[in-house]
Structure 1
Amino acid sequence: MRGLLLNNYYSLQVDEASKWSKLEITFPVQRKTVIRSKYLSFITLIVTGAVFSGVTTLISFLRDNAAFRSLDLSPGYTLGFSLSVSTIAIVYPAVLKFGVEKSEMMIFVAAGSSIVIRIVVWALLGMFRENVNFNSSEVGIASLAVAVVMFAGSYLLSVRIHKNKQF
């Protein structure tokens, strides 16, 4: 899933190199619509990654692998989803604000921040419940919920940055 999200990162680099941002604001489209299309693209790529991952899981399951059937894959999926969503929620507004020149560093910082966010969620859940495992489904679901809230906030922040941006 994260690999598919990098496609958007590279498209931002190409947009910047071709000066597309200056041209796109001359079209009769609101800036909010431009940002909405980017976020719809992010969502589409996340769903595509989930579909590919699900098909791989289904094929492995159908191959009648007894060891595979006993695995609980939900922690892996929630980890992948939460890291993907929170990483893009951090990176995209930063790229809009500071430009794509520093975007490679921003991706690494955002990925690390996404892991730190999951650790904080795990620690907070551990304060209220006993024996909370980092890979438990409750940590995964809570981390995913935080990531979705971050994604929504990121959209609003990106709209604001794009409206105030001078090209």
Structure 2
Amino acid sequence: MEKSVKSSTLLTIVAVIILLLMNQSATLKLAAFLPFVLIPVHAFEVLKYDAMSGWNKYEIVLPVTRKRIVKSKYLTFILLVILSVFLVFSIAFSVHILMFPTIHAVFFNYLLRGMGLIICIAALIYPLTYKLGTEKSDSIMMGSVGFSLGMFFVITFILEMIGVEGFDEKFSSIFFIVSNIFLLISYVVSIKIYKNKEF
């Protein structure tokens, strides 16, 4: 996983720099969004590698609680999300200071949306993988992406029905907050599933 994260980080740096230097509205949005597609997804591979290597059966006999095992998976994911935010923000800030303005409302909106989508995906992947096993990881990933996009459009629809002012900013913030609530619920559910799991 370490090698994958390093190569994805390098790819992200190059891609974000190129996208920001294009200085277009669409490329700015993609630059804020892209790191969350490339880096945090490696946290989901940990579950697959653990099952393939047999580590998931070995780790439960170690002097570590099952809650702590689950917590370590979630922390890995959160650290990769933080790395993504740090990378994209530091590159955008450098371009903003040295060349031309890149950091404004649109950038922050898409940063929050990117984080919200990947967090929403993680919120479903972890409990479903613990429940159904890594053999169904592809189906779980597809279902999680569908769930995440579904939440995205449901929140959009609700806010449009209400008719809020400053739609983009409010939508991005609400979607990010809702995604984090789902991740917290997911963490509690994952702990319950993993505590009752028999290998």
State whether TM-score is above 0.5: yes
Confirm or deny: 8 A CA contact 1:86 1:147 kept in the other structure: yes
Higher RCO (C-alpha 8 Å, min separation 6): 1
- Measured in 2, the distance between the counterparts of 1:108 and 1:63 equals 40
Aligned-partner Cα distance in 1 for 2:181–2:119: 10
Aligned equivalents of 2:191, 2:91: Cα separation in 1:
36
Counterpart of 1:47?
Answer: 82
* Equivalent residue in structure 1 for 2:106, among 60, 65, 72: 72
Where has structure 1 moved over 6 Å in runs of 4 or more?
A: none
Q: Give 1:105 shift.
A: 2.4
What is the root-mean-square deviation in Å for CA atoms of aligned residues? 1.7
Indicate which of 137, 145, 149 corresponds to 2:169: 137
Give distance in 1, aligned partners of 2:145 and 2:79: 20
Unaligned 5+ segments in structure 1 are none
Distance across 1 between alignment mates of 2:152 and 2:136: 25
Structure 2: gaps of 5 or more residues: 1-35
Q: 2:188 aligns with which of 148, 151, 156?
A: 156
Identity %: 26
Contact 1:85 1:147 (8 Å CA) reproduced:
yes
Provide the TM-score with structure 1 as the length reference: 0.90
Output one character per residue of 1:24-82: Cα deviation in whole Å (capped at 9) or x when no partner. 1101111111111111111111101100111121122123225x466631111111110
- Larger helix share, 1 or 2: 2
Q: Aligned residues, how many?
A: 164
2-structure distance, mates of 1:132, 1:120: 18
